[in-house]
Structure 1
């Protein structure tokens, strides 16, 4: 590895636009925000070094066996957030950037490109939600006091926002235009004069000259050039140099290896599209990651589940590609099924639970009809109860995930015929110390869960399985939380010495229920007895609802709350004890 002669920002960006520098597939996506770009450019204009870069000289023979990407120039959060795949002419070598992609992409966007992110509160589908902005420098004044610690007033603006009002000086200078100046003397004065800026002091000239010098004269870019053609050594170097920044995900490595080794599909594009589809399709939104998708792909392909470089062999990647269609369909069905169970981005507290679910669906080749068919209702209930219990129990989806998934895969494989093998799976889980058996003390702990807690939704879903959770349900306070202020409790006739008894209970599980989104809005701050009197068409429906949700003997007003709370808590304890198979 040899240290190279420093270069200017203009020189390295020019080489990028001549396709001399490309990104290897192992690089992650561009993740910097506009403030980070502004801070980097401010540092550049102050003459600060940009740190070392690491480049890889790729010979033509090596280059033809790998996939590379161009640098992102015009970032658009919705329409164009990713770098495009590069075309490397046959017989050509290139230089790949192993360390420094974020900084170089930030410079490229600042000087050559633009940045478009969604405006706050704008609709994602609105054509005006993503204004195109470019980086501008205020030539009239330095930055005022700011959280970023900037000296120069650098801002991402639309061209319309940067345009001066009639008769006003043209103070906003697009930083990329500095490449069009012929020199650092007369050309700068001519530019300032044309903009009708005050030249009585040297400040305007100094700011523009600082920009010119930062981009075209200073040489802050130092880099090392690695010339080995051994991909394993390059991969090891890449992991080492990236360990100090944003944590390198092994899924990024797997994507790079798959991208290079898949024969017919582009692994990176396939995973990207699937992650987006899983998270945005259907009525419930989720936040599944590339890691979850790739872990499922390994599980369905029947290969080692560990995210280790030694596992990313050509043979394994071909198996993953061959089963990709099955993996994709199974994940889509699994997420749809989780939606019918009432889970979403907030209530699904362990995303990894989708992996064994998708594997089960793939292993048995179920169709889309499984999600809703009456013939599969019993099996779906078994799946739902197992998933819910695994989310309620602490420590199931944390450490030791690969071992857990491997045991679950074995249990599913060994089950002859159709049906979710709950007993077999739980037996394998127990051997890993991840038993789904519950103790009485755990029941007491669950009854102390609070509104909005990670496990609150799955516990309520477990307690009251008759709800059609395919519809949108909210966690709802039976006695409205707005009634539980000290002033309102005093006004309701609650004695001062027992107000704390009310305050410590109203946000806990026995005062919570799952209520449909529309009825919850309609209920608002009504007391439960008032709401129940108007929410049901018949007395029989009201009585059934109260029985199914342990709402016996509801008091008419707040003074009976504590007694009701304790009575419902006892009924919920009995339900949980039965549902979780706890022996008293």
Structure 2
């Protein structure tokens, strides 16, 4: 390994765009935030060191043994978050980046590219949710001293945000445009003059000059070049140099090793596509990670579940690849089943629950018809009850996950050939100190759950299992929250001494129910008695609803809300205790 002559940012980015530098598959995805990119550019402009880089000179006869990726230039959180696979011409060598990918990608985006991340509260499906932004330098002002410790005001802005107001100087300078200036003297003055900026003020010139120096003159890119072609040595170097910063996870390494060792499939592309399918396919709305996918792949392949380098052998990777089609199909069915149970990314409190569920489906080789077949209804109910209980109970899917999954795999192998072995699974969980038995104090805790809490949906699903959760259901306030402002309660004649009690109780479980999406929209802010009178065609339907939701014979008058709340709470406690086996 030899230290090389430092180069400018412009020189190394030019080499990247000539595809002389590529990313090996053992690199993780780009994970830096927009603020991290701003911080890096600010550091460069201040002349601060940005760390050394490690490059690997890969000879033409070695290139064919590896998969390489191009650098990401235009980052889009939804549509283009990943680097694409590079095509290396036959007989060509490459220089692979072993350490420094995040910094170089950040510089590439800052100078050549753009950044588009979702606006807060915007819908993922909205075409306007991801505004395209480039990095700009404010020529007229420095950064607010309280913002991240930045000196230079560098921001990601849309073209509209960067445009000057009528009659005002054009103060936002696109960072990448610095590459177009002929020199650091007259060309800078000409640029400032064209933007209507007063040349008597030296500060704008200094800021633009500092940017020019940072990108085109100073040589902050210090790097070592490794020339060995031994893959084991290179992997060892890579693991060691990535022991700091945003640490490379073992799942990243596993995916990287699989990419190099799978014979027929591209592991990284397969996992990417599956993650997207799991999270957004059909009516699903989840946030499963590649870690969950890889853990399931190991489980289905029958190999050691732990993310340890010693498990990333060619033999294990061959088993994972051979079982991939089974893993993929089982995971999609498992995610679809969770969707049919009514779960979303908000209410699925532990993504790892999909791992044993997918393994069970794979172990039995169950077809897609399992999701809806009446013949499998009893089995699906057993699965749903176990999944829901494990999500409601604290501490099941936290520490000791690998040991838990191993025992679940053994229980399913031994007892899951014909049906879901809930009893045997719970027995194995109990031996690990992860019992699904509940104590009375836990029932009390569950009754204090609030609206939109992660566990609220599964608890309501346990309480009222007759709902067809394959349809859209919402958590709904029986007494509408909008009626519980202090002003409206006082206007309704509620004693001032009781107003705080009303407001404290309105969002708690005893005032909540699961209601279909359309009925919930129609109910809106109606009081319960008014809604009941309109929502059901017959009195028999109305009484069935009241019975099934623990509302029969309860007063639905706002003045009796606290009595309603306490009585329904007792009914829910009794029902929960029965469902969860608490004496």
TM-score, normalising length: structure 1: 0.91
Could you say which residue in structure 2 is the equivalent of 1:405?
A: 405
In structure 1, C-alpha distance between the alignment counterparts of 2:477 and 2:231, rounded to whole Å: 58
Could you say which residue in structure 2 is the equivalent of 1:13?
A: 13
CA contact (8 A) 1:265 1:321 kept: yes
Q: Which moved more, 1:244-253 or 1:483-492?
A: 483-492
In structure 1, C-alpha distance between the alignment counterparts of 2:158 and 2:556, rounded to whole Å: 59
In structure 1, C-alpha distance between the alignment counterparts of 2:114 and 2:7, rounded to whole Å: 24
CA contact (8 A) 1:474 1:514 kept: yes
CA 1:517–1:495: 2 relative to 1, 3 Å: same
Q: Which moved more, 1:327-336 or 1:37-46?
A: 37-46
Q: Which moved more, 1:186-195 or 1:294-303?
A: 186-195
Secondary structure of 1:475's match?
strand
Could you say which residue in structure 1 is the equivalent of 2:383?
A: 383
Secondary structure of 1:55's match?
strand
Could you say which residue in structure 2 is the equivalent of 1:457?
A: 457
In structure 1, C-alpha distance between the alignment counterparts of 2:189 and 2:492, rounded to whole Å: 77
Q: Give matches, 1:487-498, under 5 Å.
A: 487-495=487-495
In structure 2, C-alpha distance between the alignment counterparts of 1:123 and 1:160, rounded to whole Å: 21
In structure 2, C-alpha distance between the alignment counterparts of 1:455 and 1:126, rounded to whole Å: 28
Q: Give matches, 1:230-379, under 5 Å.
A: 230-379=230-379
CA 1:547–1:165: 2 relative to 1, 3 Å: closer
Could you say which residue in structure 2 is the equivalent of 1:199?
A: 199
CA 1:387–1:49: 2 relative to 1, 3 Å: same
Structure 1 residue 33 corresponds to structure 2 residue 26: no
Q: Which moved more, 1:260-269 or 1:147-156?
A: 147-156
Secondary structure of 1:84's match?
coil
CA 1:343–1:9: 2 relative to 1, 3 Å: same
In structure 2, C-alpha distance between the alignment counterparts of 1:527 and 1:495, rounded to whole Å: 19
In structure 2, C-alpha distance between the alignment counterparts of 1:171 and 1:443, rounded to whole Å: 61
Secondary structure of 2:95's match?
strand
Per-residue CA deviations over 1:140-193 (Å, capped at 9, x if unaligned) read 554566724444343445567666789876655443333344433444455555
Q: Which moved more, 1:562-571 or 1:112-121?
A: 112-121
User: What is the CA RMSD across the aligned residues, in angstroms?
Assistant: 2.8
Q: CA deviation at 1:43?
A: 2.1
Per-residue CA deviations over 1:357-384 (Å, capped at 9, x if unaligned) read 1111111111111111111111111110
In structure 2, C-alpha distance between the alignment counterparts of 1:500 and 1:196, rounded to whole Å: 59
CA contact (8 A) 2:364 2:416 kept: no
In structure 2, C-alpha distance between the alignment counterparts of 1:501 and 1:117, rounded to whole Å: 42
Structure 1 residue 147 corresponds to structure 2 residue 147: yes
Per-residue CA deviations over 1:325-377 (Å, capped at 9, x if unaligned) read 11111111111111111111111101111111111111111111111111111
Q: CA deviation at 1:417?
A: 3.9
Secondary structure of 2:387's match?
helix
Secondary structure of 2:505's match?
coil
Could you say which residue in structure 1 is the equivalent of 2:542?
A: 542
CA contact (8 A) 1:115 1:134 kept: yes
Q: CA deviation at 1:259?
A: 0.5
Secondary structure of 1:16's match?
helix
CA contact (8 A) 2:363 2:417 kept: no
Secondary structure of 1:544's match?
helix
CA contact (8 A) 2:24 2:97 kept: yes
CA 1:163–1:502: 2 relative to 1, 3 Å: closer
Q: CA deviation at 1:61?
A: 4.2
TM-score, normalising length: structure 2: 0.91
Alignment length, in residue pairs? 583
Question: Which 5+ residue runs of structure 1 have no aligned equivalent?
Answer: none
Secondary structure of 1:327's match?
helix
CA 1:219–1:533: 2 relative to 1, 3 Å: same
In structure 1, C-alpha distance between the alignment counterparts of 2:499 and 2:122, rounded to whole Å: 44
Secondary structure of 1:521's match?
helix
Q: CA deviation at 1:218?
A: 0.7
In structure 1, C-alpha distance between the alignment counterparts of 2:33 and 2:516, rounded to whole Å: 38
CA 1:389–1:63: 2 relative to 1, 3 Å: same
CA 1:432–1:557: 2 relative to 1, 3 Å: same
CA 1:333–1:179: 2 relative to 1, 3 Å: same
